[in-house]
Amino acid sequence: MAVNNTPKASTSDCGMALILVLGIISVVTVMVAHLTSVVEIIAKEAKVQSEKEALRYKAESIAGETLWMYFTDRRLFSNRRLGQNLDTTGRADVDFEPWMMDRRPHLFNSLNGVSYLTAGDGGFTFKDQKSLKEDIDETDTELLEDTEIFLDVLNDYADKDDLVKLNGMESSEYDDEGFYTMPRNDSMQYRAEFYWLPNWQNIIQDPIAIVPPENKTLSDSSNSKPSIYACSDTEISQQFEELTDAELESIKNARNEWIINGTALDESLDSDLYAEISQKFSLKEGFVTILYAIAYSSDKKIKVTQRETREVDYSRNSIFSDKKKETLSVWERFLE
């Protein structure tokens, strides 16, 4: 009779093998779940990117149509005064939506988008630096000191000598910070140069004005007043010796009434405040505009904004970028 001498696996060995198998299965399960999550994330990112690319072209179309509709409006209606009753501008019997630099929204339902135009000559410029200290409370010594430092840095950046002002910076100071090509030692060519200067964001509260291309100007010398429709709350307050919170709120509400409902400013404001606004601000369109064209996804979770700054007064030769006057110039274009 044959005898089976094969050793039997102990219970402990079977348990260890089972634990090992279960451990491997658990690791594989986690890896598969992680891989699945990664694939899902990549797929969603690809879908968002694809959607953004499509919206980019829609925003470009909206911007193009907005520009030409504005040109049409400017050709048909020579009265470019903003904030007045539209019936007095020759539009009473014309079925044509007003296209002006007043932030009024223009809907593009077929493209799921909207556009609006505003004045392009607003914002902080190099020559506005004197106003920085004027608006600071004398008791705020820390802000006054920071502003003095910033102004020295700003002027050292733009002047043509290598003399360092008391709190300024010239090439050696920038070299120590690792910025070997600074300062410019000449007039700024781009608004972004302000952003390179230390502590600018704590000193300049208003948006930075665009630096015009060579041989072009930002504002008309005959009309140096800021547009009421492009000013921030700070800029509005700076134009008045005293402006109460209630008056500022009235001005903001009057602007919104015009933008939303087309209500004339003199109908929304009391006569005295309207008279002051007419003296201190420009209610007439300039020749430089910022055009915003925004395209949304169908669920409005994704949007793309095209922002352009350009001249729009076609009576000026500088509106073109070529001598043959065939190509309109664009001062600045961003996609956000």
**Total structural domains within the chain:** 2
- Specify whether 155 is located in the same domain as 91: no
Crossing angle, helix 271-280 and helix 245-261, to 10 degrees? 80
Q: CA-CA distance, 6 to 185, in Å (whole number)?
A: 93
Q: Per-residue pLDDT for 304 more than 90?
A: yes
C-alpha separations of 118 from 130, 258, 312 in Å: 26, 13, 12
Residue 147 lies in a domain: yes
Q: Give percent of the chain above pLDDT 70.
A: 94
What number is the average pLDDT over the span 166-177? Answer: 91
Measure CA 211 to chain center: 15
Q: What does the pLDDT look like over 86-110, one tens digit per residue?
A: 777 777 778 888 999 999 999 998 8
Strands 288-296 and 113-119, by their bridges, are antiparallel
User: Which one is predicted more confidently, 250 or 25?
Assistant: 250
Let me know whether 62 and 115 are in one domain: yes
DSSP 101: S
Same domain, yes or no, for 141 and 98?
Answer: no
Domain membership of residue 68 (yes or no) is yes
Residues 131 and 198 in one domain: yes
Q: What residues make up the domain containing 303?
A: 51-123+225-231+281-335
245-249: which pairs have CB atoms within 8 A and are 24 or more residues apart? 247/273
Same structural domain for residues 149 and 112?
A: no
Same domain, 61 and 112: yes
Do 103 and 145 lie in one domain? The reply is no
Asked whether residue 87 falls in the same domain as residue 137, the answer is no
Instruction: Answer yes or no: are the C-beta atoms of 169 and 157 closer than 8 Å.
Output: yes
Round the average pLDDT of the chain to a whole number and report it: 86
For residue 46, being part of any structural domain is answered with no
Residue 178 token pair: 């690792």
Instruction: Single out the residue of 320, 316, 294, 321 nearest to residue 305, CA to CA.
Output: 294
Which of the two residues, 184 and 24, has the higher pLDDT score?
A: 184
Mean pLDDT on 302-310: 94
Q: What ranges make up the beta strands (E) of 80-140?
A: 106-108, 113-119
Residue 76 has pLDDT above 60, yes or no: yes
List pLDDT tens digits, range 183-199: 999 989 988 899 999 88
Confirm whether 267 is domain-assigned. Answer: no
Q: How far apart are CA 149 and CA 166, in angstroms?
A: 8
- Do 148 and 96 lie in one domain? The reply is no
- Alpha carbon distance 132, 45 (integer Å): 44
Together in a domain, 148 and 188? yes
| Residue 68 and residue 117 in one domain | yes
Q: What are phi and psi of 107, to 5 degrees?
A: -85, 140
| Any domain includes 11 | no
Query: Residue 285, SS3?
Result: coil
Residue 331 belongs to a domain: yes
Beta-strand ranges (E) seen in the chain are: 106-108, 113-119, 288-296, 303-311, 332-335
**What tens digit of pLDDT does each residue of 124-150 get?**
888 888 888 877 778 888 888 999 999
What is the rounded CA–CA span in Å between residue 119 and residue 254?
18
